[in-house]
Amino acid sequence: MIPGLQPVPLSQLKAHLGAKRWIIDGFLDDLESLTPVKGEVSAEHKGNFLLVKGKAYTLVILRCDRCLCDFKTNLDFNCEEIISLNENENNNRQRREDRKSREIDSFVESIDPYANFEPERWIFEQLSLNIPISKSCSNECLEAYSSKYNDLNKLKTEKNNIDPRWNKLNEIRNL
């Protein structure tokens, strides 16, 4: 745990005038990084919602999807999030279902107003959301993968290039 980023009761944030700010400088327990996470986060109680703003960065090692080599990459975020304070969030499943069916521009996240805000968890979530889905160590590796994939698609479409051992499978597929 990064010192100073302990969970804070929302009632304490409500009593705080303005936004409460945290400076981030340390390693997150749930995120393996080469450098400490550095940045800042602020949370302000706005009555029926919590306004959270933050930015942070670190250096992590990812594994290339193509060649399986490890490579270093920067991981960062700079965002703002509105978290709804829902009084019956823990007790009312129907309300949760109603919330899911609302329009997309409504509050997405919600928290019990008597719970704690966990700045370290929020930072971890934001950094995790910025890990690329497709991990490529370089443009050359990505292009090599793409061209190989396109070559495989061409082979599938050209019947003359299909291995005769697959004929029975093709017959079954065509049934």
Residue 65 reports pLDDT greater than 80: yes
pTM: 0.70
Q: How many residues does the chain have?
A: 175
% of the chain with per-residue pLDDT over 70: 75
Q: Are 62 and 71 in contact (CB under 8 A)?
A: yes
Confidence grade of residue 109 (pLDDT, cut at 50, 70, 90):
confident
Alpha carbons 113 and 35: distance in angstroms, whole number: 34
Q: 9-13, 36-40, 100-104, 156-160: lowest mean pLDDT where?
A: 100-104
Beta carbons within 10 angstroms of residue 156's beta carbon: 10
**Quick one: which H or E segment has residue 53?**
strand 49-63
> Domain coordinates of the chain in residue numbers?
8-137, 138-175
